[in-house]
Amino acid sequence: MNATPMESPLMKAFGVKGLKGDMVGQASAHEDASRRKPNPSGSDKSKLRKVVVRPSGKDAATAYDGLPGAVSMPDGKVPVSLGSGRITSLLSKGGMAMIYEIWNPTLEVKRAVKLLRPDHTEDSAQRFETEMKISAKLHHPNIVEIYAVGKWRDLPYIEMEEIDGATVEKLIAESGCLPVEVCTSIAIMVGRALNYAHNQKCVIYGREYHGVIHRDLKPSNVMVTRQGVVKLMDFGIAKPTTASLVTCGNVVVGTLQYLSPEQLEGKDIDVRADIYSLAVVLYEMLTGKKAFPQDQLAMLVPNKLGSRYVPLDDYCIKIPRALRQLIHQCLHHAKEKRVANALDFLRVLGRIHKDITDNSPEQVLARYMVKPRRSRVRVEMRIRRRIMPAAAIVIVGVVVIASSIVPFLVPTFGSYLKETWGNINDKPFVDENVFQLAGRPSKNHANDTVEMNSGNNAEPSEAAEKALRLPEKVPKNNEVEQTPKKPPPSPQLGKKVTSK
């Protein structure tokens, strides 16, 4: 049976009318010849095989017609031959493909192999092929290097360099937010990769294009090696800068939270869409929070079109003003208001980075990746717009409580004074005739002394009695009372004075 031509929406973006055959084409040379199904027609073209998915534990066992028994996807535990080596472990699982670590015994190196899932769709197969063609033409220190492509039991794979490090998504999950100099270092290297990709001429499907747009820039697609080098990955939905199609199958392609507003609306895009996504990633690295956390298209579109996100000014983080302005400009909903290209972005961010530290981005990241990273702090990013109203509420509450308690406290305190010292309007606090400094007798009563015998209730002297008496009446407006009332008898020392 001859393969029928197919034409996917993504192929239209590249100006390709159709390709014969499916991505699930002929069996690879790595497949054991003894296990291949003989072709009774004698033709060199092998038949397309039906893919059946059968669940088996965590993985799905995939059976192929014509093969004896069911052949399951590698689980990473059995050293199956794949690419130029043998599988040593399973690195990650994705919705479209699985990534394995292999060991090449000839070169004695480890590499990563991305293998398409057997239950793939036509669009996912086409995106996988596009990723192979684009990635193979991009050679930059900050882009993952592609070594080879091929097929394993009719499933296409990409063999690429293995990155010993962590994704930015993992770094954010571990620390909550990253230091400012680390954020600028990562953004600078990603900007270099974008500037190269946006201006790299390449021939795809027989047509020459000037540059490629990534279209799916997000923290999980950016890795940092232990040596401090950033690697941009996954060009699966990348497109030439001159192609106009932005969706596949009438659906938005990419991770919604990081896509530009024009991508969500299905409009034509240019390199400024990647600049927008990079600003969203930089925002999340600085704050530990997504600029647009909504996961529904109906909520994201109005928020992004209205640039409704928490400004960096509202976070209690020491972020340089120029960096805040750059991010806010790149997050503008109108692409005409953003930075024009990755080169202009790098020029501004490079100056900001030099103002923060004298170390190069590679030096900053190399030191950060080797030292133990701090544990995640979830409340370290306090927003001022939430703190100030809360502080105002607390202050108002204290004032209200104080105003309600003071009227009750004042009469109680006054009663205590009246019971202890008598009426404040009847007795002077201090008799002017006997007032003296401690240890210094007054000039009018130099011979008066106060005898203090500890343990005995001694009779106080006349000076002490007068000093303990309360005023009979407080003079008003400098008036001096001529005939004060007769004071009550003096109590013994140590007993409470009461008015009669």
Q: Closest by alpha carbon to 355, among 319, 313, 316?
A: 319
Q: Which two tokens stand for residue 245?
A: 């199609």
| Residue carrying the six token digits 């993504």 | 10
What is the C-alpha separation between 365 and 179, in angstroms, rounded? 10
| Euclidean distance between the first and the last CA atom of the chain, given in angstroms as a whole number | 125
Among 282, 267, 382, residue whose Cα is nearest residue 331: 282
Q: How far apart are CA 230 and CA 187, in angstroms?
A: 9
CA dihedral 352, 356, 362, 365 (to 10 degrees): -120
216 an active-site residue? yes
457, exposed or middle or buried, with CB in 10 Å at 0-12, 13-18, 19+?
Answer: exposed
Distances (CA, A) of 243 to 54, 55, 204, 212: 39, 39, 12, 10
Residue with tokens 């990755």: 342
- The C-alpha atoms of residue 367 and residue 162 are separated, in whole angstroms, by 21
Convert 217-276 into a string of H (helix), E (strand) and C (coil).
Answer: CCHHHEEEECCCCEEECCCCCCEECCCCCCEECCEECCCHHHCCHHHHHCCCCCCHHHHH
- Which secondary structure element, helix H or strand E, spans residue 124, and what is its range? helix 122-135
**Separation between Cα atoms, residue 368 and residue 362, nearest integer Å:** 10
Nearest by Cα to 130 from 99, 162, 95, 156: 156
The single residue of 22, 32, 164, 216 carrying the catalytic annotation is 216
Residues tagged active-site: 216
